[in-house]
Structure 1
């Protein structure tokens, strides 16, 4: 069972991620407006993982709940000291959470498998070869 470690920029938050295999994490790039706003970037990158695989080992996250733009409540957890995003989940996530790529100590261990909301991709950003590409979330 592979174990991945991560945390926030200031190291007040640390976590351990225990997966049955790397394939259990579906890392995706999202070009939606909501992800762009939260990350202050051209996209967000998260891994859909089982909630039971994630364990805080140090610190406590701060929670923010808000509308994701489609009427669904989205909870984001982040470090209250440095603001680093750790994870997010919404009403339809079930037993899954979405872990932020940049919070992993070795993010390249779980590379992206695809892109969502490609219709909102920045015009200067090329499509990434070798990944699946969806214009919408449900395509």
Structure 2
């Protein structure tokens, strides 16, 4: 199954060639790093097999930083606007729920972890 996406300004375009939507591990992260990076209550992360990703137009900007548990996280995005269609693959869980804002409800029907390694 081919998933196409890219950035809001349409400069960066990509394709994901996944045998199943389950091959993408989409998660919501409430760690301070994701909150700061997105300027919101959470970030949405996608862990996919690198071999399934193909950049079809433009170039991404890369940012490396702590993932909230001491590991290194690399983010790639359009340097001008960000990425579109974040709801094509639904999340499987929430990480760092100990940092979830009190007003933010728990996402139903997914796993919930206070830390990454729990």
TM-score, normalised to structure 1, is 0.77
Unaligned runs of 5+ in 2: none
The answer on whether the counterparts of 1:5 and 1:104 sit within 8 Å (CA) in structure 2 is: no
In the alignment, structure 1 residue 20 sits paired with structure 2 residue 7: no
Question: Partner residue of 1:136?
Answer: 115
Distance 1:68 1:47, change over 3 A: closer
Q: Tell me the matched-pair count.
A: 118
In structure 2, what is the equivalent of residue 41 of structure 1?
40
Q: Which SS does the other structure have where 1:35 is aligned?
A: helix
Q: Which runs of 5+ in 1 are unaligned?
A: 85-102
CA displacement at 1:79 relative to structure 2: 1.3
Partner SS, residue 48 of structure 2: strand
Contact 1:4 1:104 in 2 (8 A): no
Q: Hey, what's the Cα distance between the residues in 1 that align with 2:15 and 2:60?
A: 14
Give the structure-2-normalised TM-score.
0.89
CA distance in 1 between counterparts of 2:53 and 2:97 reads 28
Alignment RMSD: 1.6
SS in 2 for 1:108: coil
